[in-house]
Amino acid sequence: MKRSKPTNSANHSSPPNSVVHSREDLRALQRTMTSALFRPLDTRWGMQKTWTDGRPTREVAAEFIKPNDRLSSFERLEIYNRQYWFRVLECLHDDYPGLRAILGAKKFTQLATGYLAKYPSNSFTLRNLGERLEEFIREEPGWTAPHEPLAVDMVQFEWAQTVAFDGPSKRPITADDILGKAPDQLTLGLQPYLSLLSLNYAVDDFLVAVKRREEDALRGEASNAIHSAPRASRRKPVRRPKKRQIFLAVHRYENQVYSKRLEPEEYQILATLGRGETVAAACETAIAQTVKTDLDWTETVKNWFDTWTALGWFCLPQ
């Protein structure tokens, strides 16, 4: 999942008309090159033949890219344009297998292309490539129709795993940090890498099934490569989950990413703590809203806090 590539999201549609004489000329050249790299490929996975102002791209490329004895200016620029798009599409393909399974490979590629055309990479690391994918799907639901609600849930879940994988962490609290503090005075922070999700679909089980199917397919291909010619896969796609509310905590423990199902009351307590409320207020709010009357809430809540503390979810509030 760790990848890095310097990028710049600035846009400049007109190439510089002369050699570089100043920093401003250099910026103009950099913006033009960036604009060329970020332009989506055509239907044949080549660079578009027409520039943003209607001129032939070959003419524009010749203004700032030198040809050599084998390749024209257009062909040299096309190499970088294609490699940028192949790389970022590959990253999204790898990071969002659940969304890809929901939409299908072709529709997923169309979505990814539309997303990157609107929100190109603007970070030094490709880890952040999908940071605005949920926002894009909500803005333009046609890309995921008729599965937009399910797609939104899946993107939230898959992005939360990216956050959990390498998000920042703070020192977990110790007994000394809370010693002598009454519950109605005690506030607890949540680790930055911890995501709390209220979802309408069981995307966690769905993603496990998708990954298992892909692993089985890969093992089958490896076996066929050794023993016989590859055979067309007859595996049925994983069935999309039906609507069902779940609550998840996505976190890491000992450098491994996990998702943990939460009871509604657990989610309520943690979410309330995350908003800066006291422990007493968080517990009282959650228990007051529950319909479960046959539980020993004192013991239940104590066990929850013991588990969360052991997992290192709590830190000192900011």
| Dihedral sign computed on CA atoms, order 62, 66, 70, 74 | negative
Record the tokens describing residue 127, joined without a space.
């880890």
Q: Which residues pair with 261 in a beta bridge?
A: 248
Residue with tokens 């949540």: 190
Record the tokens describing residue 2, joined without a space.
């760790």
- pTM (two decimals): 0.85
Which are the contacts of 258, defined by CB distance < 8 A and separation ≥ 6? 164, 250, 251, 252
- Looking at residue 13, its pLDDT comes to 47
Q: Are 193 and 169 in contact (CB under 8 A)?
A: yes
Average pLDDT, integer, range 130-155:
97
Range in 4-13, 106-115, 183-192 with the lowest mean pLDDT: 4-13
Whether the pLDDT of residue 94 is over 50: the answer is yes
Average pLDDT, integer, range 108-130:
94
Which are the contacts of 77, defined by CB distance < 8 A and separation ≥ 6? 36, 47, 57, 61, 65
Average pLDDT, integer, range 172-176:
91
Residue with tokens 């994983």: 238
Whether the pLDDT of residue 89 is over 70: the answer is yes
* φ, ψ at 201 (rounded to 5°): -140, 150
Domains in the chain: ranges and CATH? 23-146 (no CATH), 170-226+241-315 (3.90.930.50)
Q: Which residue in 248, 300, 245, 302 sits closest to 271, CA to CA?
A: 248
pLDDT tens sequence across 144-167:
999 999 999 999 999 999 999 999
What is the chain's mean pLDDT, rounded? 89
Whether the pLDDT of residue 258 is over 70: the answer is yes
Query: What share of the chain in percent tops pLDDT 90?
Result: 75
Q: How far apart, in whole angstroms, are the C-alpha atoms of residue 280 and residue 179?
A: 15
- Looking at residue 299, its pLDDT comes to 94
Contacts 24+ apart (CB under 8 A), 261-269: 261/204, 262/196, 264/290, 265/289, 265/290, 265/292, 266/304, 267/196, 267/198, 269/301, 269/304
Q: Are 163 and 195 in contact (CB under 8 A)?
A: yes
Give the number of C-alpha atoms closer than 13 A to the C-alpha of residue 149, restricted to the C-beta side.
11
Which are the contacts of 51, defined by CB distance < 8 A and separation ≥ 6? 13, 57, 59, 60
- Looking at residue 236, its pLDDT comes to 79
Residue with tokens 């503390």: 309
Residue with tokens 């570089």: 20
CA distances 211 to 96, 172, 206, 217, Å, are 11, 32, 9, 10
244 or 226, which is more confident?
A: 244
Contacts 24+ apart (CB under 8 A), 21-29: 29/64
Average pLDDT, integer, range 303-315:
96
Q: How far apart, in whole angstroms, are the C-alpha atoms of residue 302 and residue 304?
A: 5
Q: Are 270 and 311 in contact (CB under 8 A)?
A: no
- Looking at residue 180, its pLDDT comes to 87
- Looking at residue 224, its pLDDT comes to 58
103 or 5, which is more confident?
A: 103
- Looking at residue 21, its pLDDT comes to 81
H helix intervals, the chain: 23-38, 57-61, 73-95, 97-103, 105-118, 133-139, 148-166, 175-178, 203-227, 264-274, 279-289, 297-310
